[in-house]
Each structure stands twice: as structure tokens, then as C-alpha cells.
Chain A
Amino acid sequence: MNQRVLFDMSIINIHLYGKLRKLAENSGSTDESKIELSWNKDETLAHLINNRLNLSFDEIGEIFINHSPICKYDVIIPEGARIGLFAEGMYLLCGGQHMKGHGFIEKKVKEVDYW
């Protein structure tokens, strides 16, 4: 019997936006600029960005994991995560900033489970 596999939990999908699209094979604005990497237990976002994507924090704007905004780099990446990475300068504006509960990305704020 064929069984359709919906999600491969050993993979993380990283969706790239702005100038970060250059990391993906399909890097046009109307392409789905995505790379797939293996999921590593207990890996932090910081480790992924600095060591596996070879990016500095200065190159990063808004970050989402499974559609939730992330303020801190020391979060552990969950299995099978969908990560949205935006280039520096690309941030929530206007009403979107309500998601953060404050005006702008502040890396030092403590983590709050908004949901």
C-alpha cells in the first residue's frame, strides 16, 4: 500500500526572502526560494544561522519558526520546522508589530509565548 508521507520530520525547511534568496537554487521573487537541511537535535537558531548558513546576525531581519515570530537566537529549532528568514531591514510593520507586543525587534526581550 502506498502511504503518502506528509512531513519528513528529519528535515527543516528554510524559506528565504530578500537578498537571502541567493542561498537557494530558485532565487527569483516569484519562486519558492527554499533550502532543506537536516534537523539536528538541540540546535539553536544562532548555530543554524552562523554555522550552517554562514550568515551573520546583521544580515537577518524578521525570523519565523512555524509561522511564529522569533525574537531570540537561542531558541531550539523543533523537529520538521518551517523557518522563514528575511533579509536585514525586512521587518513587521504597522499592525504586524502587534505580534511582537512592542515596536520593533528587540533581541534582548524575554521570550513570551504569544499564543
Chain B
Amino acid sequence: MINEIIRINVSEMSYTMEEIPEKYKYLGGRGLTSAIVADEVDPKTDPLGPGNKIVFAPGILSGTSAPSSGRLSVGAKSPMTGGIKEANAGGLTAVRLAKLGIKAVIVEGFPEHKDWYHVLISKDKIEFIKANEHANMGLYELIEKLWKKHPKSGLCGAGIAGQRLLKNAGIFGNNPENTDPGRYAGRGGLGAVLGSKRIIAIITDDTGGERPMPVNEELFNTGRTKMVNALNEHAITGGKAGTDKGALKNYGTNVLQNIINEAGALPTKNFRSGYFEGAKNISGEAVHELVDETNEKFGDKAEGGYGHACHPGCIIRCSNTVPDKNTGKAIVSPLEYESAWALGTNLIIDSLEHVAKLNRICNDIGIDTIDAGNALAVAMEAGKIPWGDGQAAIEFMKKGYDPNDEDGATFMQGANIAAKTWGIDRVAVVKGQALPAYDPRPIRGIGVTYATTTMGADHTAGYTIAPEILGSAGGADPRELNKADLSRAFQSTTAYVDQSGYCLFIAFAILDIAEGMEGLEETVAGFLGKKKYDITTVGNKILKIEREFNKKAGFTKDDDRLPKFFVDEKLPPHDVTFDVTNEELDAVFDKM
């Protein structure tokens, strides 16, 4: 392992390469981005000012032969929440950086010039490339142009919204085929932080790089085999695309559209109901059927698909490509559950074509789909778009391309600012960030996570891993735990997985199959050359760092609350409110 940190100073347009400090030696991904942000960024600094830094870090195992481990974490002080932020994604960049021996890229400083740049990272050099001609360019066009000059490179960066410093700007990433910029570290406005540094794209070319090698190869390989077996064996992550086996490979994450709907917890029409009659039309099953139809109709020219890997080495392969029904050409890749919900169900839009096109515009202008969908809901509340009108929503979203359009700019700031600007009270946000696709009233455990995570409302912050396996439940039936204990255990484990580089969907295999959990522990410990790398200890440490940052930034317990309408308004069909007490919410971190 080379283990270097690259520091890119945009004030001086220079860079340095540093050996990773001892204190960061066993960190990666979210653990590393949050540690660096906490150590180097003043919690009270302006997120879009000179004091903020944005950090890109591959997971500990990214670039290795560990399956589904190529996640890239991006961290900074968030312009959307005002707190610490980590968002992660697949794509190519994590694997490329890891093969160059780079543990983190820190972009810091503040440019006085008004030019735009790309940063090219390769084995022999780091180069600033003036890129004014690429400013305000749609990302589909941009990634195509960049690959012509830098084929096979990992691309990530800030799109149109980020370049305009708008707060719902995500960090885009190209997919392995470079057909779509949709591998987003989307949440929290990190694209605006990169935009404030006048950087459009980070281009990573790993030519001449080598696969990172574990310190204890034998232990790593033992663990790797176990993890591969567990992922392949498991009903959710295993199977094969195009067969009856393997839900994620066939339906993607959008398998959830029908499931959460049947659970009565699918937020519909800006969180007014838990059930949407049209959900089936935009479900993973509908995408699957459309892909099969267009493949049959258009043969080799068809571009739709499922069972697609979002990064090299992923064997879960939950990504997909939604084709145009009439041409077979790709509209967008992927269409995730959260995006189909935000741009469909929550707006009562049940046209798969409209939802896919809305997602494509988000990808093209560089914004997070969850907050975008919530912002569109606010626009519908304000009467700017009729409820359920997909074509009108598309036309509205296109306003984002026009730098002089006020509605377009407001919408790209995210739901919270859109609501304040347009005078709408009903907006589902925590710490300024919009809620994802699980209503917290029937699913109170996720509500606790939405309320208390340092990240703002985020379903991935509290991924569900059985606490009894983590040893935090004392062997008790986990459903006897209160929601605070449950949420804490989930948040802690998620932080650990986010630092490993593994995709969160390994959770099923490590939970249900003992060999899978051993595989997780052994691959990480084997790679780092440690005997043990305790999941809960490491996860809690990351959470404490992040929590402390937010405390210094001025967050209090009052920020760990859901919007009032979740407490006051019953959600059909269960007719329940969010009745978790404030004391229980506060216990998540008080007891850690």
C-alpha cells in the first residue's frame, strides 16, 4: 500500500502529496472523510467559503478483490444542513484512486480567479486543466467529452447546480460504461462545495496503478471467499438476472416500491398517505418488464437492462437502465427506489417514462433526486405544477438549465429553501435535508434515525443490521429494544460499513449467514493487518466524531426532531402518528 493523501490547494493552484498520518492509518471511506473534516474544518465556517474542505476517500477495501467494495465517500461541511456530511456512491473513482495508492483527496482553499478547472490525477502527475468551455454543460455531454480525452477514467464532480453553488448539488460519478453520470454521492449539497472551489471534475486515470494488496493476504482471502459465497447464496443479493432468483439483480432497489406500498409506508403526495395506487406502474417489476419487452423488440439496439454493476467488482448488481419504450434507447441509469419514489409517488406521478426523464434531468444538471422530488412536491403545494402531472414537472425542472430563471434556481436549492421561498409550511426536512422514501409514522425506527443522525434525514444513516449479531442487544429479541437502542446500533454499523468500502447491501449476507459476517471482519482485518477490527467500537467512534462536529457547529437536541406534521397528522392506511418521545430521541446519543 502506498497510502498517500493528496492535498489540492485551489488558492495557489498547487498540490502536495503526504504520507497518511498514523492516526488515519486504519481509516477509509466515511471514517476518513469525517475525521479529516472534523480535524481541519472549523465547524462554524461558511460551507461555501474558504474555510471548508471537501474530501474524497475510497473505502478501506476499494480496489481490492473483495466483492462489492468499490464505494467512494465524499465529505465536507454541508451547505444544506450546516453540519458534517458524508455521502457515498459507486462508480469508478474509488477503485481508480485505490489502485493509485491514494487514500484521500482533499480539496481546500478558495480561488481568487474566475476560471473553471478539472483536476487530473494519474500515476505520474496531478494536473490542473482549464475547463471554462465545460462550465454550465449537461453532465451526459461532459462525461462523454472527458472520456474521449481520458478513456476509462473515473470521473466525479460538480454539475450545473454545483457550479452555481446551489444547495441541492450532488457529486456526480460516471458509471463503469460511462453512459450515465448517475452514480451520485448526492445528498447534502457537496457539489456546491466543490463548485465553490471552481472545480468541475476530478479525473482519475489509474494506468500503471496496482491493486492494493492486503497485509495479511491469507486472512483477507479467507474472508473474501466467505463474503462471495454469502452474497451469492443469499436470496436478496444472490441469484441471476433474467431468472426467478435474485430480487436485486432483477428488480433493483426499486423492488421496494411495491413492498413499502403494501406495508402502507410509502409516502404519497408529500407524505399524505402511505399507499399509492399507481406505485406498481413505476416499480422495479415494471422496469424489468419494460426492459424485457424492449430487448425483444429492438434486439442489439436495445439499451435497457437490469442486473447491472454500479462499480467494478460488484457481484450484487442492483443497478438498471430504463429504456425508452418506443426506441429501446436508454433514458436513465439507474432508476433507484428513492428516486422513483421522490419523482413519482410523492408527486403522484405514475408514468415510468416521466419519472425516468425527471431522473435524467437531475443527473444532467447535477442534483440529488430525493431533495429534488421533495422540492417538486413543494412546487406542487405552491400551485406551480399540478399534482400528478409528469410532463409539467419535466418542463418545470428544465428551468434549472436557465441561469436566469428564479424558479429553477430556487428548486435546485432543495426542498427546504424552496418551501421558505414559496411560503409553504408543509415540507418534510430534518436539519434542512429532505426525507427519503419511508414514512416515519408507520416505521418509527427509521423516524428516529431521520431525526437524530448527524447527516440530516437520511435512510442510509441507520441501516438495519440485527443488533443481536453486533452484540449490542445482550442476546435479547431485538424487537424488544426501544427505538433509540435500535437506531443507535443501526447508525453505528452503517458508519462501519461506510468506511469499509463495502456496499450497504452486504448487510443481508452478513446478517443471515454467519460466514458472511466472518467475511466482513476478516477481509477488513486481513487488509489492514489487524487481528480484530470491532464493528461497534469503530462505528461508534465515527458517530462521536460527527456528533461532536455538529455540536460545535451549533446543533442542539432541538435539531433532532421531525417536522410537526408527522406528530400531529395521522397517516393512512395505518392511521398512526410519529409518537416517539423527545426523551427517546435524545437517548440515541445520550446513551452512546
Nearest residue in A to B510 (C-beta to C-beta)? A103
Stretch of A39-47, A48-56, A86-94 with 4 or more beta carbons under 8 angstroms from chain B = A86-94
Are the CB atoms of B459 and A67 closer together than 8 Å? Answer: no
| A104 close to chain B: CB less than 8 A | yes
Contact of B511 among A18, A84, A103 (CB under 8 A): A103
Are the CB atoms of A103 and B466 closer together than 8 Å? Answer: yes
Residues on the A chain within 8 Å of B251, using CB? 18, 90
Chain B binding site: helix, strand, loop or mixed by DSSP? helix
| A79 close to chain B: CB less than 8 A | no
List residues of B (495-522) whose CB comes within 8 Å of A's CBs: 504-505, 507-508, 511-512
**Provided the pairs A19-B244, A89-B247, A104-B511 are in contact, do residues A84 and B463 lie with their beta carbons within 8 angstroms?**
no
Residues on the B chain within 8 Å of A103, using CB? 464-466, 469, 507-508, 511-512
Are the CB atoms of B256 and A101 closer together than 8 Å? Answer: no
Stretch of B169-177, B179-187, B356-364, B473-481 with 4 or more beta carbons under 8 angstroms from chain A = B473-481
Residues on the B chain within 8 Å of A97, using CB? 464
Residues on the B chain within 8 Å of A32, using CB? 280
Residues on the A chain within 8 Å of B464, using CB? 94-95, 97-98, 100, 102-103
Counting chain A CB atoms within 10 Å of each CB, the highest count among B253, B255, B574 belongs to B255
Residues on the A chain within 8 Å of B437, using CB? 95
Are the CB atoms of B443 and A104 closer together than 8 Å? Answer: no
List residues of A (59-115) whose CB comes within 8 Å of B's CBs: 61-62, 64, 67-69, 84, 86-104, 109-110, 112, 114-115
List residues of B (75-123) whose CB comes within 8 Å of A's CBs: none
* Interface residues contributed by chain B, number (CB under 8 Å): 63
Cβ of B493 to closest chain A Cβ, rounded Å = 9
Cβ of B469 to closest chain A Cβ, rounded Å = 8
Residues on the A chain within 8 Å of B459, using CB? 94-95
Are the CB atoms of B280 and A29 closer together than 8 Å? Answer: yes
Are the CB atoms of A101 and B286 closer together than 8 Å? Answer: no
| B270 close to chain A: CB less than 8 A | no
Q: What 1/0 flags go to B553-591 for Cβ under 8 Å of A?
A: 000000000000000000001101000000000000000
How many angstroms from the CA of A57 to the CA of B194 in the assembled complex? 51
Contact of A95 among B446, B511, B576 (CB under 8 A): B446
List residues of B (341-388) whose CB comes within 8 Å of A's CBs: none
Are the CB atoms of A29 and B235 closer together than 8 Å? Answer: no
Which B residues form the contact surface with A (CB < 8 A)? 235-236, 239, 244-247, 251, 253, 255-256, 258-260, 262-265, 274-275, 280-281, 283, 285-286, 288-289, 337, 436-438, 442-446, 449, 459-460, 462-469, 477-481, 486, 490, 504-505, 507-508, 511-512, 573-574, 576
Which A residues form the contact surface with B (CB < 8 A)? 15, 17-19, 28-32, 61-62, 64, 67-69, 84, 86-104, 109-110, 112, 114-115
Q: Can you list 28 A-B contacts (CB < 8 A)?
A: A28-B289, A30-B280, A30-B289, A61-B235, A62-B259, A64-B263, A89-B239, A89-B246, A90-B255, A91-B259, A92-B260, A92-B263, A93-B253, A94-B460, A94-B464, A95-B437, A95-B438, A97-B464, A98-B462, A98-B490, A101-B478, A101-B486, A102-B466, A102-B468, A102-B478, A103-B507, A104-B508, A109-B479
